[in-house]
Amino acid sequence: MKKILLFILLIFIPSFILGIHNATLYQPKHGFDGTGHVFYIEYLYKNKELPPPRLNWETHQPPLYYAIGAALMAITKTWKTAQYINIFVLWAIIAMVGLGLWRIFKNIDQTLIGMLALAALPMLNIFPAMITNELLNTFWIISSVVAVVYMITANNRRKLVVYFAWFSTSFILGLWTKVSIFTIAPTVVIGSLFLFFQKRISKRFLIIAALLIIVIIGVLYYPLFIWSLQGPSSIVNVSTKVRTGLPIDFFYRLDWIPKVDMYNTQYYSMIGGAWNSFWTDGHNAITPFVKFHKKSFILWTLGFILLPICIYGLVRLWKKNKKIGLIMGMLGVSMLLFYVYYNISANHYSAARLTYQMGIVVPYSFGITAATLNKKLKPFIIVLLIIQFSVMVSFFWIQKWWHVVR
């Protein structure tokens, strides 16, 4: 209990204060698609119906997040309230991953360290001030994956039924938030195979349950699918025409490392764009446009230490629990493959942000946590994460003169 209280005092409260501060100052209409998110909420509030998918930049998106924002707007009479949604969603994500960590590691130290790894991660902390469905989408992805973890570790049919319901609900709500939840399909398939070959669970029961889940998901997604057939949003058409093609070296260039390019790699390197969006605010989503920043450099550099630690941890996780190791490995690999596919198909500079595949934060957290099984490495990891969290909070603390307040 003392460790939990210390975590709340040193991590949760500063993180929550950062979110409130940034949401209060941040002007969501300043960005490329910010006006589209606000428009969607206002349209639902005023018209009480779904907009045509081609009506605006973001109206091709499923409506769940925007419906929540419209409900808040009905109470407060301003879309500004919607900016505070993601502050709570961020910690729902961290708590959900914590549930998964506790299920596997059964240790409060390791669970809190894994949660700290996400609380300190720049990629997740870019979004709480914004009006966007990205974090809620991430929550449902993570909730579905954690439900799979609970399913393959269930020891009786009654619990399995509960976990099936948990997974189905999360997946359906995910579809109604953003269809990219389908990116976890390979992970779900692997988890289903693990279940099917477990001797203690009836094969007939599993087949019936799987078919029932598929039918329920199909029926509840069908109305949204019919609505989406009206045509894609104009942003889909525009984004595919931003550039005519990508040079082959775009997918493997590493010259951004010796150049210490923390901000412009998305224009010429997919790997650099992913790195900068994961470890720092490489796209200047909330921080000022600068050529070099010491705090950004610290975050950028910490990635070169934390990534090998994460990979080392995933290897240890594989040795400790091959099923969970494979689940996390499949999730990480599939997120990266979909990221490559997205860059090939979308073909614009914004596609080089790894934030579109935020499900990758789950294997990252599990990897960092598993690395702490090495008792000598554990204090070093804690120090690194505390440094990362402190620098991230300081770096992301929006100032009144920054471009994002206008």
- pLDDT tens digits for range 123-151: 999 999 999 999 999 999 999 999 999 99
Residue 242 pLDDT greater than 70, yes or no: no
Model pLDDT, residue 235: 45
CA distances from 185 to 38, 61, 206, 258, 331 (A): 30, 20, 17, 37, 9
pLDDT over 90 percentage in the chain: 70
H-run or E-run covering 189: helix 185-196
* Helix (H/G/I), strand (E/B), else coil: 66: helix
Q: What is the pLDDT of residue 231?
A: 62
What is residue 32's predicted lDDT score, i.e. its pLDDT? 61
Q: How far apart are CA 361 and CA 369, in angstroms?
A: 12
> Per-residue pLDDT tens for 39-59?
999 999 999 999 988 888 888
Q: What angle do CA 154, 147, 202 make, to 5 degrees?
A: 40
The burial class, CB within 10 Å (0-12 / 13-18 / 19+), for 204 is exposed
Q: Mean pLDDT across the stretch 6-20?
A: 95
The span from the first CA to the last CA of the chain, in angstroms, equals 43
Token representation of residue 287: 């921080």
Give CA–CA dist 215/203, Å, rounded: 18
**pTM of the prediction?**
0.93
Residue-wise DSSP of 162-174: HHHHHHHHHHHHH
Is pLDDT above 50 for 378? Answer: yes
Mean per-residue pLDDT over the chain, rounded: 90
Average pLDDT over residues 317-325: 93
pLDDT of residue 234 exceeding 70: no
* Average confidence (pLDDT) over 316-337: 94
pLDDT at 195: 83
* Contact status, residue 114 vs residue 101, Cβ threshold 8 Å: yes
Contacts of 100 (CB under 8 A, 6+ apart): 142, 145, 146, 149, 150, 362, 366
* Of the candidate ranges 54-63, 242-251, 305-314, 384-393, the one whose mean pLDDT is the lowest: 242-251
Q: In the 8-state DSSP scheme, what is residue 8?
A: I
Q: Does 381 score more than 60 pLDDT? A: yes
List of residues 6+ apart from 137 with CB closer than 8 A: 65, 174, 177, 178, 180, 181, 358
Q: Which two tokens stand for residue 247?
A: 């040079």
